[in-house]
Chain A
Amino acid sequence: MIVASVGNVLVWAVWVVAAFACLGSAVAVVSFSNPFFSALALIGNLGSLAVLYLLLSSEFVAAAQVLVYAGAVMVMFLFVIAYVGPRTESPWTGGPSWQAIGSVLAAGALLVEIVVVIGLKAGGALAHSHDVGGAFGTPSYIGRLFLTDHLLAFEITSIVLLVAAIGGVILGAHSRTATDEVPPL
């Protein structure tokens, strides 16, 4: 019993640290004026989300999150930010505009809506979750699901990635003949 409660407290402690790191770094991404710092804050956000995924016994998704997002996608982001050059822009200065007020109102309304819906459901349906076995979330479990029940999603994902790679090459390619003929926007 004591061991169980110690484990419980430990899970809660890890959850609180990861959740607040996640929320704080999300606010930091939106608030930093330098996009480089925003991208670094997003890496922290993705890492703490991976901890939350581990607490939800989704080990493969947590590993994929760190490898795909915090590894590959964020390296691409940082490369493009370095290529474009630092353009700082302070979101919270210059007085309140109608745009900023409307944005805060819209985001706040969305947040209140989500919290109300969760609060209405939390008492009954969300309190007790099913017990999961030890195989839940392991790579073999995910792989079996991908190759049996969700084979179409797997194949469509591969085609989407291929098309995105082709699109990235076309968008990023230098057209050496017609560079100067294109009028500036």
Chain B
Amino acid sequence: MGPNTAWYLGVAGFLFGVGTLGVLIRRNPLIVLLSLEIMLNGANLALIAFARHLNNGDGQIFALTVMAVAASEVVVGLGLIVALNRKRVPLDVDRLSSLRG
């Protein structure tokens, strides 16, 4: 019945790879956050594929927890971007290289 677990894992691996590429290659912190979401979703797809494969709901619980943590991470990340924008800091992760209180 339909594609087996390996196909879903292939899609999950590709999503993770594309997300990694986005995190490494983009300089806009907003798009870095979007690429992080892609990586998290790739991991979620693998978790849910294994939950279905093993007939065990723990993977789905883990995926829901990952979703909640991702939402928290987005809140903090977007708050940082808004704070940077308010201080007129250029939104470029290559130029955000120094910490100064």
* Contact surface of A with B, Cβ cutoff 8 Å: 7-8, 11-12, 15, 19, 22-23, 26-27, 29-30, 35, 38-39, 42, 45-46, 49, 52-53, 55-58, 60-61, 64-65, 68-69, 72-73, 76-77, 80-81, 83-84, 87, 89, 91, 99-100, 102-104, 106-108, 110-111, 114-115, 118-119, 121-122, 126-132, 136-137, 141-142, 145-146, 149-150, 153, 157, 160-161, 163-165, 167-168, 170-172, 182-185
Q: A56-B49, A83-B85, A84-B85 are in contact. Are A100 and B25 (CB under 8 A)?
A: yes
Contact A42 B34 (CB under 8 A): yes
Digit string of B1-34 for contact with A (CB within 8 Å is 1, else 0)?
Answer: 1111111111101111111111011111011011
A residues near B61, Cβ cutoff 8 Å: 142, 145-146, 149-150, 153
Contact A22 B91 (CB under 8 A): no
| Cα distance A95–B67 in the bound complex, in angstroms | 37
Shortest A84–chain B CB gap in Å is 5
A-B contact count, CB below 8 Å? 246
Contact A168 B30 (CB under 8 A): no
Q: A26-B19, A45-B38, A126-B6 are in contact. Are A61 and B64 (CB under 8 A)?
A: yes
Residue from B10, B54, B64, B88 whose CB has the most chain A CB atoms within 10 Å: B64
Main secondary structure of the interface of A (DSSP, over half): helix
Q: A64-B64, A99-B25 are in contact. Are A114 and B52 (CB under 8 A)?
A: no
Option from B1, B34, B96 in Cβ contact (under 8 Å) with A8: B1
Shortest A102–chain B CB gap in Å is 8
Count of interface residues, chain B, beta-carbon cutoff 8 Å: 75
Q: A42-B37, A114-B17 are in contact. Are A129 and B52 (CB under 8 A)?
A: yes
Known: A77-B33, A168-B76. 7 other contacts (CB 8 A): A38-B31, A52-B11, A61-B60, A69-B70, A89-B31, A145-B57, A185-B84
